[in-house]
Structure 1
Amino acid sequence: MFRVVLKSGPGCVVTAVSGTGSGDYTLTTTQADNAATIAGVGMRMGVPDRAVSVALATAMQESGLVNLAGGDRDSAGLFQQRPSEGWGTHGQVTDPVHASMAFYEHLLRQPGWMTISFTRAAQLVQHSAKPDAYAKWEPEARALASALTGERAAALSCHDLAATTAAVTLRSTALTELGTTSISGTHGRARGWALSGWLVAHAARLRIEQVSFGGDTWTASSGKWSPASVATDVLSLREVADSRS
């Protein structure tokens, strides 16, 4: 699912932790968008980067990073959480922000979750009938998390994005997911790259056409990161101009 080569059309690529090339992982823009929400909520809550990796691996297994309306019995959403088991209403478990917060809250309550394997940590939260299934997603989850937590610079790019009319604004989405509207401006390296990855992964939905930070610039037109003329710790972005009258 996350290694299929996107021959044409919108999509996103995450460079593997070991480098670029055949080890890179590909996602649809929907998958990248949901992954950015999971990571953004983690940033808002101040969870360790490992928690983001575990959350992404869990969502990869449970839903393929797609916000599903249903599933086994009353399971639904990115994490296939069940209202009948106290995860919230159907509307809440299919809200990626609520679902992500609930996952992290459950994970952080598990004793020793930081020192055990991904699959065991995920299973402590999910209680899945296939407790070992999460392990296979660990490489992809680590690579994606490293791009979305700012551990690695310019590690996620999206291309061939279709121009749409945004249903939500950057400001409202940032406030909901990140708990702040302070996106542009001066940031430390990790936060700057985390916010840059969040913007690029959300670019299709939020109509972002350019992001610059740390000496690199991503543009929707090129679909990749390229060296900027000056390396700074100031994050800047440009949204697609609204052509409606």
Structure 2
Amino acid sequence: MSQPTATPRRGRLLRVAAALVVLLAVAGYLVAKYVSGGGGAPHCTAGTAGGRTYELSPEQAVNAATISVVGTSRGMPERAVTIALATALQESGLLNLDHGDRDSLGLFQQRPSQGWGTAKQILDPVYAAGKFYEHLDQVPGYSRLPLTVAAQQVQRSAFPEAYAKHEPDATLLASALTGRKVAAFTCSAVLSTLPGDPAKVRYRLTRAFGAGVLPAGQSGQSGQGSEVTVPVTSTSSAATGSAAGRSAASRRGWEVAQWAVANSSVLHIERVSYAGRQWTAGADGDSWSRTAPKSAGPTAGGAGEVRIALVKQRG
């Protein structure tokens, strides 16, 4: 009878050793994150304390905020934003994919061969969201249709019922990102060590909201200073000064403020202030704290401002 070989035993030992190396590496990473104040992987949350919440990555947050703002800037109702967000959750997981089924691309997996635009255009989230809303607006009575029916009228998916499961999360995201729910969107991440560029913030603001979001000429300013101030007024001049006007201005202000929080990682934003509330990157990024009303909400005239403070150049 031959002696058993030692190879299986050596194989098991090597696998165990490899597993231990991986575990030690993960443990070291977590310890480093804890010591540096990282508090785990960066994440963003829609919803308020005590209620239901939905968590997403900073990349998903940027895309969700873009989809929301493009819709409201076109005058689309919150229901349209909900439909768009649910569609993007199903099609791409709110990620700007450079691949898909056949030639499908982007947040909504739109196809150049089907007339949605060039590949470069479709991979621009502002363009892609705009094309989705353009098609949705042509669906008669879309706001009264079941979400999955409205989405399918635009997408022509092989799995039309799949959109329905995303409706609760999309509804939560839309209520926060459109400004209907105040202080309802936060992001937790380590404060950037890189300085923010006001010119980039202004550029992204005007691309998403349109040129009217900033005073005339401000969008073209060079990257001076470390703060961008966004005046907030009612979009309806007839309603300015009325309760309806103040409500519309407040909602617009929260939409801008929560857009800024969603973009805090990519734009190196340290602090966002509006209506006596303040969000701060880092340890306090999971909530909006109350502050002295430096950055007031809408006044009797319907005006107010959102203050976006950027990480400053060190040294």
Instruction: Output the TM-score relative to the length of structure 1.
Output: 0.90
Contact 1:76–1:82 (8 Å) recurs in 2: yes
Deviation at 1:165, TM superposition (A): 6.1
1:229 paired with 2:292, answer: yes
Alignment-derived partner of residue 114 in structure 1:
143
Q: Does 1:75 align with 2:104?
A: yes
Which deviations, in whole Å up to 9, do the C-alpha atoms of 1:203-244 show, x marking residues without a partner?
11111111111221101121021112238213222111134x
Where does residue 9 of structure 1 map in the other structure? 41
Deviation at 1:162, TM superposition (A): 5.2
The aligned amino acid for 1:11 is H
1:184 lines up with 2:248 in the alignment:
no
**Amino acid paired to 2:181:** R
Post-superposition Cα deviations, 1:38-80, rounded to whole Å, max 9, x if no partner, equal 1121132121111111100000000000000010011010000
Please state if 1:90 is matched with 2:151. no
**Structure with the higher helix share, 1 or 2:** 2
Secondary structure of the 1:13 match is strand
Amino acid at match of 2:76: V
In the alignment, structure 1 residue 219 sits paired with structure 2 residue 249:
no
**Of the candidates 262, 268, 279, which is equivalent to residue 207 of structure 1?**
268
Structure label with greater radius of gyration: 2
Q: Which residue of 2 is the match for residue 3 of structure 1?
A: none
Matched, 1:20 2:61: no
The percent of aligned pairs where both chains have the same amino acid is 46
CA contact under 8 A between 1:217 and 1:228: conserved in structure 2? Answer: yes
- Cα distance in 2 between the residues matched to 1:225 and 1:50: 26
Equivalent pair of 2:43/2:189 in contact (CA under 8 Å): yes
- d(CA) in 2 for partners of 1:121 and 1:207? 37
Q: Is the 8 A contact 1:9 1:161 kept in 2?
A: no
CA distance in 1, matches of 2:276, 2:161: 41
- How far apart are the structure 2 equivalents of 1:99 and 1:84? 15
**Counterpart of 2:127 in structure 1: which amino acid?**
H
Alignment CA distance shift 1:97-1:161 (3 Å): farther
1:71-106 superposed Cα distances (whole Å, 9 cap, x missing partner): 001101000001111001111111101100000000
> Across the two proteins, how many residue pairs are aligned to each other?
236
* 1:186 to 1:113, Cα distance in 2 relative to 1, 3 A: closer
CA–CA separation in structure 2 for the residues paired with 1:238 and 1:130: 44
Amino acid corresponding to residue 229 of structure 1 in structure 2? A
Query: CA 1:151 to 1:102, structure 2 compared with 1: closer, same or farther past 3 Å?
Result: same
What do you get for the CA RMSD once the two structures are aligned? 2.0
Give the alignment partner of residue 310 of structure 2, picking from 222, 239, 244: 239
Looking at structure 1, the residues matched to 127 and 183 of structure 2 have their Cα atoms a distance apart, in angstroms, of 28
Structure 1 gap segments, 5+ residues each? 1-5
Asked whether the 8 Å contact 2:86–2:170 carries over to 1, the reply is yes
Retained in 1: the 8 A contact 2:191–2:270?
Answer: no
Distance of aligned partners of 1:122 and 1:206 in 2 relative to their CA distance in 1, 3 Å threshold: same
Contact kept, 8 Å, 1:208 with 1:240, in 2: the verdict is: yes
Query: Is the contact made by 2:196 and 2:310 (CA closer than 8 Å) also made in structure 1?
Result: no
What is the CA distance between 1:166 and its match in structure 2? Answer: 5.9
- 1:172, 1:179 → 2: CA distance? 10
Of 220-229 and 144-153, the range deviating more from structure 2: 220-229
